[in-house]
């Protein structure tokens, strides 16, 4: 894990949240609205990083194989078995950017929850 990249991703998420806040709410500052903007951006990045880290996208390889083998005869010739297709599609992710994005977006979500509690009290 690279700390510089984590800080850079965190700052980029803050800038995007700020731009979303300005676009939706304008220049008037309300803590609850800031929490909403932070939460939206945090969740938009948090959920895909969970999918990437757990490699849940591999679930759809079976659907893709079934559909393509049903539609294309050349596909069936190249991949007669699902295991052949799965072996070619299996790619190991060797980067830690998803972990850094996961941590940065998780911090953004936690900040938004704290700001919401402060705004509601």
| pLDDT value at residue 53 | 85
- Specify the residue for token string 């990249």: 5
Per-residue pLDDT tens over the stretch 92-120: 667 788 899 999 999 999 999 999 999 99
What is the arithmetic mean of pLDDT over 62-76? 85
SS3 letters for 52-105?
HHHCHHHHHHHHHHHHHHHHCHHHHHHCCCHHHHHHHHCCCCCCCHHHHHHHHH
| pLDDT value at residue 63 | 85
């Amino acid at each position: 894990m690279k700390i510089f990249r984590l800080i850079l991703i965190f700052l980029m998420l803050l800038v995007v949240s700020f731009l979303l806040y300005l676009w939706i709410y304008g220049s008037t500052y309300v803590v609850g609205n800031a929490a909403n903007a932070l939460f939206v951006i945090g969740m938009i990045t948090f959920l895909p990083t969970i999918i990437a880290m757990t490699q849940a996208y591999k679930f759809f390889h079976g659907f893709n194989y079934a559909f393509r083998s049903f539609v294309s005869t050349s596909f069936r010739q190249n991949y007669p078995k699902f295991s052949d297709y799965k072996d070619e599609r299996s790619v190991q992710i060797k980067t830690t950017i998803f972990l850094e994005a996961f941590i940065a977006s998780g911090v953004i979500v936690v900040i938004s929850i704290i700001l919401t509690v402060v705004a509601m009290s």
